[in-house]
Amino acid sequence: MPYTEETINKIIKDFQNLLMDADNFSSLGSNQIEKQDTEYKQFWLGLRKEGPETLGLIKHLIEVLDDKLSKNEEVEEEGVKRGRETAEYLKSQGFMSGKKDKENKKEKQGVVTAPMMEME
């Protein structure tokens, strides 16, 4: 069953109405005589009709939520993977050890360092 917004709203409204009717149901009739158990049959039948629809909707919504959570986890895993790759690249370039940062700071201050030359 496709769960359009209209279908979802109808299922919820029907179930709310059934709950409201059951809540407002008095076990005493208009003549204050205790109603028979058969009077409750309308709610049992209502639950038999509305219950499966409501349960189906709940299961559908849980499935939708699980799918969204799964996609979020995949995106998060991809982000973590890219973060690691970026960190490895920066480390390979000397930025993670502080070496490049020190060199850049010296360059900004105007200090030039020459590589050590090997003496023969």
Does residue 44 form part of some domain? yes
What CA–CA distance (Å, rounded) separates 36 from 31?
13
Does residue 106 form part of some domain? no
What's the pLDDT band for 20 if we cut at 50, 70, 90?
A: confident
Q: Give the tens place of pLDDT for each residue, 41-72.
A: 777 788 888 888 888 888 888 888 888 888 87
Does residue 77 form part of some domain? yes
Does residue 28 form part of some domain? yes
Mean pLDDT computed over 87-99: 75
Q: Greater confidence, 31 or 39?
A: 39
Mean pLDDT computed over 26-40: 60
- Please, are residues 72 and 26 in contact by the beta-carbon 8 Å criterion? no
Does residue 120 form part of some domain? no
Does residue 111 form part of some domain? no
Domain tally for the chain? 1
Host domain of residue 55: 5-99
Does residue 118 form part of some domain? no
Average of per-residue pLDDT values in the chain: 75
- Please, are residues 53 and 14 in contact by the beta-carbon 8 Å criterion? yes
Nearest to 2 by CA among 39, 42, 57: 57
CB atoms within 10 A of CB 2: 5
Does residue 27 form part of some domain? yes
Q: Tell me the pTM.
A: 0.44
